[in-house]
Structure 1
Amino acid sequence: MQNSKTFIYGVLLGILGIVLFSSKAVMVKLVYKYNIDAISVLLLRMLFSFPFYIGVLIYQSKRDTVIQVTKKDYLWVVLFGIVGYYLASYFDFMGLIYIKASLERIILFVYPTIVLVLNKVFFKKSISFLQCAAILLTYLGIVFAFWDEVAISGFETYIGGAFILLSAITYASYLVGSGWLIPKFGVVKFTTYAMLVSCLCVFIHYGFATQTSLYGYPWQVYFIGFLIAIVATVIPSYLVSLSIKMIDSSNFAIIAGIGPISTIILAAIFLGEILTLMQLFGALLVIVGILFVSVKKK
């Protein structure tokens, strides 16, 4: 009975975490209506989340790591923090300037297929025939959704799609490369280090790239920036980690399929975005393909 309750709670926490994660793209699109650029929005996200991660780091520093950590390991953390959170987030925010939030989520959702390909190229891990078929199905869904959007929105769709694909590639690279470091630091400490590196990168980027002040925007900009940082970043990251611990990663991979669906629903409610039938069909192909890849991978 206790195990059954734990599983149900784990599923509910996972669903909540996924929905909160999915709300990020919608919030970013909402804040863009106030004529703010991508790096400024990203800076707000990091400014609000930075104190939280500092607090987690102080708390985690009191715990000793089981495996000895070297200076070289910390250098790798810096690299993966730059690639996995700074670059992936920046490309994502740039892409959202040009394309719908719902389409962004569909493209970003393909990162597990990129993980498989990178593991094949760099670590010679095999990809089964069924996994190859699932990958092809996933990208066929992208073509369906993307092609129809190009006909509606024009050339800017290519620009936005390219940025989102770069985001998926950089995040997948982070997942592939950082796997051997996580056992050394622990999930929470490693994620915290990587996020702090990302914050510092954004601070430097903002300092060099823009002359505009972060002050003077309507209060809604700062409120949405706070929500992006806490509600759509910090809280769901720990909800997802807890859910995976309670129900295991294979079961979580199945419920992760609600991510694009929740983004489509939220985008329709708050942004008035409506996907065409072809785009919905493409989204369905992507979800089925990724679920199959994820379950088979486990």
Structure 2
Amino acid sequence: MSIIKTISSDVDSMRAAIVPLPKVILEPLVRHALREDLGRAGDLTSDAIVPRDVQARLRLMARETGVLAGLDLARLAFQLMDAGIQMKARLEDGARLMPGDEIAVLTGSAHAILGAERTALNFLGQLSGVATATASIADAIRGYGTRVSCTRKTLPGLRAVQKYAVRVGGGSNHRFGLDDAVLIKDNHIAVAGSVREAILRARAGVGHMVKIQLEVDTLEQLAQGLELGIDAVLLDNMSLDTLKEAVRLVDGRAVTEASGRVTPATAVAVAQTGVNLIAVGWLTHSASVLDVGLDACNA
């Protein structure tokens, strides 16, 4: 089986294989967010109203339809405030949510739970929003052999967890940073003087394990890249007919990735051109936050 076939096979099995991020990555993010919220004097409202010995039982609830992501960050937020807080998850990351679904039950210090509430909900809402946005495209193109991919257009400081949420939603990750792989864009070509020179410099400047992707907006640029054996090509803002022709020219010699303001409404037509991946920046930089709340238990 070719590498091209491998990356586009069985989206459902890929989603099932999502591995949680290690605590060493998550904890600094959560600590920073808690410190930002607690500021210089702590939770003045809870300090004045809620005695430290009062216990509470509260529920994390979904208030709209979506895909759940970020439970580990929410759990950390509560437990960093008070290690005695217990969070019993009713659902797991990747679960499809409906309004009124109970996500988790929290028991422990009311003071500590309220102090961590906004931080936990911010992470849950933001990451569930990313997962939900990703799923809106992943679901639309299921069956076409094409996968949706994110970009480096992430919120500063949240790249690792936003890209995790993309995986939870059924998508795949592009580069995590500038040190992952080579992506030759128009400005690199302008500085180098030509597509050929940019590729030759890149090939000479990196190790044998580093992949090289070329961004092109014309078939002429694509042909030049293929002559030099690029690993992947980013087909930027091409018409559907041009995308089809680009896929034909590549003929399995490189991974093909389309980009250019793709939405759930247009994703199917792009997938039908035969590209392996569709890159979508707004999944991480502009996805709507999913509404998740913290409510008192009735019993």
TM class, shorter-length? under 0.3
For normalisation by structure 2, the TM-score amounts to: 0.25
Higher helix share: 1
Structure with higher Rg: it is: 2
For normalisation by structure 1, the TM-score amounts to: 0.25
Higher relative contact order (CA 8 A, sep 6+): 1
Higher strand share: 2
